[in-house]
Chain A
Amino acid sequence: MDTQGSLWEVFVQKKTGQPFVHCGSLHAFDKEMALQNARDLYARRGEGNALWVVLASEIVASTPEDIGAFFDPSNDKVYRHPTFYEVPDGIKHI
């Protein structure tokens, strides 16, 4: 077993109202240490005011092979996009 603790992924929110964005990874032995390490490692210069730390092993991720089939439906369903619909001339605010 690795003697360096588990791998955690770190997400930072720059300002309230903004999304949490992945900023890197770190090693820690438990939740508290992960959060403290994230503060020390990824928020030394006002990079954010809120952090999430998540055990890397708990993240479910798509695989590169998915690029084709898994995401395909979004490409051939153009009616999901607003530009698909015709709006008569002169109509505003829509």
Chain B
Amino acid sequence: MEKDAKELESGFESKLSKNEYIEPKDWMPDNYRKHLIRQISQHAHSEIVGMLPEGNWITRAPSLRAKMVLMAKVQDEGGHGLYLYTAAETMGISRDELLDQLHTGKAKYSSIFNYPTLTWADIGAIGWLVDGAAIMNQVMLQRTSYGPYARAMVRICKEESFHQRQGYEIMCKMAAGTKEQKEMAQDALNRWWWPSLMMFGPPDDKSPNSANAIKWKIKRESNDQLRQRFVNQTVPQAEYLNLTVPDPKLKWDEKKESYDFGTPDWNEFNNVIHGNGPCNKERLAARLNAHLKGAWVREAAMAAALKNKSKAA
């Protein structure tokens, strides 16, 4: 017997209200599915494109140890992308479609990866700030309402803490190094601070997707809440490094037990999202190039699989 739409919808909502997870075969509203495909694929694309700014420094890492660490980290990011792609695929979209959306610019990725990595200190700042901000978001997403997404997040969070620590370790070394190294560390913090705060998305009152995300328990905390927590946790880490957070409005509020801080430049944010950041074109071109250059590998693997299959039959 077919259940009617109302019954299905109330079943879905009752699961959410009991904090139960939604699984791939469960009925779900179309908009929930659309929202998640957009969010998970955007997240996956961010992991994959995020390999590029860091990959830029693998050949120039200052020591063998640093090179091994960076390669392991970049490999992890690739892995995170793959976990997330398969999570998105459980919602009925194919890997080819997902990649196509990235390559044609239809799907977005985190705008932070459209900034360049100019010095080795940038690799430190990315691990410390960018991965730090990502962890803040991802820890929350471990309890997101869609089962496959939540499970991917649990794995990713376990791996991310290595990323943030290795970044902070680089910052510690640079900040305690020669005058030039310290200047590089400060310069990296200056350039990555505001884009990191933007990673949490627009302010709550200007975030078009937030209301549904909270209603459906995809997100459990708002952009502004997460941003505040990030500032509170990160400022003392910058103080330890004797570096200055580039925000003249930054001030500890004793009563709130929290920092007041300035407003990110949302015009810049929108500008970068709409394709006009310093590296948007370069990132997409590098991604597309890798995809096209890998085509023969996929074709050969498919041909070999078919050949072996017909031999076995």
Chain A, residues 30-48, CB within 8 Å of chain B (1/0): the string is 1001000000110011000
Within 8 A of B (CB), among A1-23: 2-5, 7, 23
The answer to whether residues A2 and B301 also contact, given A41-B82, A64-B26, A64-B27 and a CB cut-off of 8 A, is no
Q: Which of A7, A26, A29, A30 has the most CB of B within 10 A?
A: A29
The answer to whether residues A29 and B23 also contact, given A4-B95, A7-B86 and a CB cut-off of 8 A, is no
Please name all residues of chain A whose beta carbon is closer than 8 Å to the beta carbon of B295 when the two chains form the complex: 3
Contact across chains for A5 and B82 when beta carbons are under 8 A apart? no
Contact across chains for A63 and B25 when beta carbons are under 8 A apart? yes
* Residue A61 at the chain B interface, CB threshold 8 Å: yes
Contact across chains for B82 and A2 when beta carbons are under 8 A apart? no
Distance between B85 CB and nearest chain A CB, rounded to angstroms: 8
Q: Which of A25, A30, A61, A64 contacts B304 (CB 8 A)?
A: A30
Contact across chains for B302 and A24 when beta carbons are under 8 A apart? no
Q: How far is the CA of A2 from the CA of B151 in the complex (A)?
A: 25
Q: How far is the CA of A12 from the CA of B285 in the complex (A)?
A: 37
Chain B residue total in the interface (Cβ 8 A) = 27
- Interfacial residues, chain B to chain A (CB-CB below 8 A): 23, 25-27, 75-76, 79, 82-83, 86, 89, 94-96, 99, 151-152, 155, 159, 295, 298-299, 301-302, 304-305, 308
- Could you name 24 residue pairs across A and B whose Cβ atoms are closer than 8 Å? A2-B95, A2-B96, A3-B298, A3-B299, A4-B95, A4-B96, A4-B298, A5-B301, A7-B86, A24-B86, A24-B151, A24-B152, A25-B86, A25-B89, A29-B298, A30-B304, A33-B301, A41-B82, A44-B75, A44-B79, A45-B159, A61-B25, A63-B25, A64-B26
Q: Top 4 closest A-B pairs, CB basis?
A: A25-B86, A29-B301, A29-B305, A4-B95
